[in-house]
Amino acid sequence: MPKRVRVKLKKCIQNQHEVGSKDAHMISRIFYELVVNGKTQGSFYSDIKQPVGSEYVAEDLEVTAPNGYEGPFDQASFAKGIRNYYQRIAGSKRTKKNNTIVLDAKFAFDADG
């Protein structure tokens, strides 16, 4: 039976050089909490890899799975929600190194497991 996974987004650190941003790609890190069927699973993060100079469109944003999470999951649904959040907070603004944006948001999806 599918499980309901809720993602409670907390903040994003854009252009985070400590995790590998280079001249060709910008790496940003999204921090969030996962809740499965009403039970909190903990705090996690995912990285977003974006070609430098791209327009923040979904096709250009590569999203990693939650760091350290091993429960029910659907990568496609998760990545779509993370991309939507990132596009909303990042927009087309020029970013500085290690720019922190705090914005609470939520999304949910169903996952097998």
Q: Which residue has the higher pLDDT, 94 or 60?
A: 60
Query: What is the rounded average pLDDT of the residues 7-27?
Result: 75
Query: What is the rounded average pLDDT of the residues 78-106?
Result: 82
Alpha-helix runs per DSSP H in 1-113: 75-90
Q: Which residue has the higher pLDDT, 50 or 60?
A: 50
Who's near 60: CB < 8 A, 6+ residues apart?
Answer: 50, 51, 54
Element of type H or E holding 38: none
User: Where exactly are the structural domains of the chain?
Assistant: 3-93
Task: Write b or e for each residue in 21-41: b if 16 or more Cβ atoms lie within 10 A of its Cβ, otherwise e.
Answer: beeeebbbbbbbebbbeeeeb
Q: How confident is the model at residue 54 (pLDDT cuts 50, 70, 90)?
A: low
Greatest mean pLDDT among 15-19, 24-28, 105-109: 105-109
Q: Is the pLDDT assigned to residue 38 strictly greater than 90?
A: yes
pLDDT at 90: 76
User: To the nearest whole number, what is the mean pLDDT of the chain?
Assistant: 85
Q: Is the pLDDT assigned to residue 61 strictly greater than 70?
A: yes
Torsion of CA 101, 95, 15, 32, to 10 degrees: 20
